[in-house]
């Protein structure tokens, strides 16, 4: 049978990699280093997936734009001290291998920088699973639809042939802005109650159940 969604585009942090806790802690520590108000864990997690400017405006609203660079540098120092030890969520590697072997084309749309995604792919050994990827420092950040539109162009796919998989409202809004279907995982940065506001096709408590849905319905 022909596939409903021959192209599956994944977010990275909070969807494939269990990194949301480290991202939140690194932002909180960076704020502490600079004597800035420390955002709550929920507020720090909410920014995951956004471009740097949007993220910092939300997390530290009183910070002047001139301070973004210093805060970003402190954040990177804390994050890079631990990012090589970040695990994938259970079942991710096996599920991606299964989907690839079934003929799905896999891609990534992430709020990471290109250098950050490259490090993550090298540390996890997942690079060969993906045909294409877009990062926040290469085009307009989420939820602007450019990431998905560029991936569709590169892979010669139509929007109706693709589905976006993510753990945040930013991912789901990204898909909506591109006119693309979406699936939500509920184990990442944003709670299901927030994800439900965007009406994805399905909700999944673990990656294995997501993959099973794609094998059956995708």
Beta-bridged to residue 88, according to DSSP, are 17
Residues 39 and 29 in one domain: yes
Name the nearest CA neighbour of 171 among 143, 201, 192, 150: 143
Q: CA angle, corner 67, sides to 80 and 174, nearest 5?
A: 65
Task: Report the pLDDT value the prediction gives residue 184, as an integer from 0 to 100.
Answer: 98
Report cis status (omega within 30 of 0) of the bond before 143. Answer: yes
- The phi, psi pair for 155, rounded to 5°, reads -95, 5
Q: Of 84, 105, 134, which residue sits at a domain end?
A: 84
Name the nearest CA neighbour of 46 among 31, 64, 28: 28
% pLDDT > 90, the chain: 87
Task: Report the pLDDT value the prediction gives residue 170, as an integer from 0 to 100.
Answer: 96
Residue 135 lies in a domain: yes
Residues 167 and 98 in one domain: yes
For residue 14, give the CATH number of its domain: 3.40.50.1000
Residues 40 and 58 in one domain: yes
**Number of domains into which the chain is organized:** 2
Task: Report the pLDDT value the prediction gives residue 55, as an integer from 0 to 100.
Answer: 86
For residue 66, give the CATH number of its domain: 1.10.150
Residues 114 and 157 in one domain: yes
Q: Of 84, 100, 132, which residue sits at a domain end?
A: 84
Rounded CA separation 120/122 (Å)? 5
Contact (CB, 8 A) for 172 and 186: no
Angstrom CA distances, 62 to 59, 67, 211, stand at: 9, 10, 42
Residues 165 and 195 in one domain: yes
* Segment 32-49, tens digit of pLDDT: 999 999 999 999 999 998
* Segment 96-115, tens digit of pLDDT: 999 999 999 999 999 999 99
Task: Report the pLDDT value the prediction gives residue 51, as an integer from 0 to 100.
Answer: 79
Rounded CA separation 9/134 (Å)? 10
Residues 66 and 98 in one domain: no
pLDDT < 70 stretches in the chain = 1-2
Report pTM: 0.94
Mean pLDDT of the chain: 94
Residues 14 and 69 in one domain: no
Please list the active-site residues: 11, 13
Residues 126 and 45 in one domain: no
């Amino acid at each position: 049978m022909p596939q409903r969604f021959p192209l599956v585009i994944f977010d990275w942090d909070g969807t494939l990699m269990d990194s949301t806790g480290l991202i939140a802690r690194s932002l909180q520590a960076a704020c502490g280093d600079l004597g800035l108000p420390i955002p709550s864990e929920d507020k720090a997690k909410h920014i995951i997936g956004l471009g740097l400017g949007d993220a910092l405006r939300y997390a530290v609203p009183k910070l002047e734009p001139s301070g973004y660079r210093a805060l970003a540098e402190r954040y990177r120092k804390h994050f890079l001290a631990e990012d090589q030890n970040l695990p994938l969520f259970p079942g991710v590697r096996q599920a991606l291998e299964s989907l690839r072997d079934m003929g799905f084309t896999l891609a990534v749309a992430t709020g990471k920088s290109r250098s950050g995604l490259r490090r993550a792919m090298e540390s996890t050994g997942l690079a060969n699973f993906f045909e294409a990827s877009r990062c926040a420092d290469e085009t307009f950040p989420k939820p602007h639809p450019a990431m998905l539109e560029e991936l569709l162009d590169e892979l010669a796919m139509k929007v109706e042939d693709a589905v976006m998989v993510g753990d945040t409202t930013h991912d789901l809004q990204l898909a909506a802005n591109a006119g693309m279907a979406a699936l939500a995982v509920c184990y990442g940065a944003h709670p299901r109650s927030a994800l439900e506001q965007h009406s994805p096709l399905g909700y999944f408590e673990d990656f294995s159940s997501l993959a099973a849905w794609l094998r059956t319905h995708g």
